[in-house]
């Protein structure tokens, strides 16, 4: 039986190299990359995927040259201004995760507006990670848990308690993470949420990653044996792992367990 797939997360890498290969400025690669976001949202909706999370700007991307940062901010703003009406009509709910307080007031207000205007949609949940870092998310979740539970000690915090305070608290964990651009790393993306995610790395640069490439990644995912710590035989007996099984709050070692 093929694995079920609800949530795809993507690290959209390779815009700069796509442009360089064509002797064009890096920003042209980002323009192409932004156009591809539009295509990929449609391709995911067509494939029946319910959640798509895209890494658009990491907390480390502030280290880039200022003109590239402004180009990326401009593209994000333009994307929000040009796509929201269509998202509303197409049943797409947009959310942005990350520390948005660092963005210009106009961009912040467009983000708020887009989130509000699409809040009732549910065909595809599109989440854009902007000024996002996985370490920031986990630290933030711990602080938020502490603020919500002032009388409690850190020993009272368990995995599901922390997950409830992550920026992705309303989303299932991604089953598949795709990274384009030939690198094989997570780069501080959804560190907690990808604990049991299948990782798919492709050499294709992001502007070239099209619907056919997405289908190939989904087929690859469907063939994976997802064990969540169990043996192959156990998986063969009971192939469907309970959602969130890997974050079980029950002790993983049974109390009466003895080594014989
Ligand atoms: C990585 O490619 C890409 C980024 C840091 C930015 C991603 C942004 C977009 C796809 C466009 C704007 C986003 C939205 C949501 C409208 P890179 O620049 O690191 O490429 P390189 O590794 O080839 O240099």
Give how many domains the chain has, as a whole number: 1
In a domain, 191, yes or no: yes
Compute the average pLDDT of residues 53-80: 96
Cβ burial 136-175 (10 Å sphere, 16+ → b, else e)? bbbeebbebbeeeeeeeeeeebeeebbbebbbbeebebbb
Compute the average pLDDT of residues 100-125: 97
Is 43's C-beta closer than 6 angstroms to any atom of ligand 1? no
Q: Look up 188 and say whether it is catalytic.
A: no
In a domain, 163, yes or no: yes
Higher per-residue confidence, 43 vs 238: 43
In a domain, 248, yes or no: no
Is 207's C-beta closer than 6 angstroms to any atom of ligand 1? no
Residue range of the domain that includes 27: 7-224
Is 108's C-beta closer than 6 angstroms to any atom of ligand 1? no
How do residues 150-205 score in pLDDT, each as one tens digit?
999 999 999 999 999 999 999 999 999 999 999 999 999 999 999 999 999 999 99
In a domain, 218, yes or no: yes
**CATH of residue 88:** 3.40.1180.10
Atom index in ligand 1 nearest the CA of residue 20 equals: 23
In a domain, 212, yes or no: yes
In a domain, 155, yes or no: yes
**DSSP letters of 160-212?**
HHHHTTSTTTTSPPPSEEEE-SS----TTSSTTTTTT-EEEE--S-GGG--HH
In a domain, 64, yes or no: yes
How do residues 31-65 score in pLDDT, each as one tens digit?
999 999 999 999 999 999 999 999 999 999 999 99
């Amino acid at each position: 039986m093929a694995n079920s797939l609800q949530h795809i997360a993507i690290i959209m890498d390779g815009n700069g190299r796509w442009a360089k290969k064509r002797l064009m400025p890096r920003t042209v690669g980002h323009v192409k990359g932004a156009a591809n976001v539009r295509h990929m949202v449609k391709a995911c909706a067509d494939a029946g995927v319910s959640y798509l999370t895209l890494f658009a700007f990491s907390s480390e991307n502030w280290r880039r040259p200022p003109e590239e940062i402004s180009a990326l901010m401009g593209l994000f703003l333009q994307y929000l201004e040009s796509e929201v009406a269509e998202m509303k009509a197409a049943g797409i709910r947009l959310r942005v995760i990350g520390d948005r307080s660092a963005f210009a007031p106009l961009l912040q207000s467009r983000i708020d507006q887009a989130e509000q205007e699409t809040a009732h949609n549910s065909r595809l949940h599109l989440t854009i990670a902007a000024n996002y870092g996985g370490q920031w998310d986990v630290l933030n979740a711990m602080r938020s848990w502490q603020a919500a539970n002032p009388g409690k000690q850190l020993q009272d915090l368990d995995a599901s308690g922390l997950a409830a305070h992550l920026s992705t608290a309303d989303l299932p964990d991604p089953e598949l993470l795709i990274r384009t651009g030939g690198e094989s790393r997570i780069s501080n993306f959804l560190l907690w949420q990808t604990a049991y995610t299948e990782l798919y790395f492709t050499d294709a640069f992001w502007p070239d990653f099209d619907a056919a490439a997405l289908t190939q990644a989904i087929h690859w995912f469907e063939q994976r044996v997802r064990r969540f710590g169990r043996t192959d035989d156990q998986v063969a007996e009971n192939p469907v792992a309970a959602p969130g099984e890997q974050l079980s709050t029950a002790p993983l070692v049974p109390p009466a367990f003895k080594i014989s």
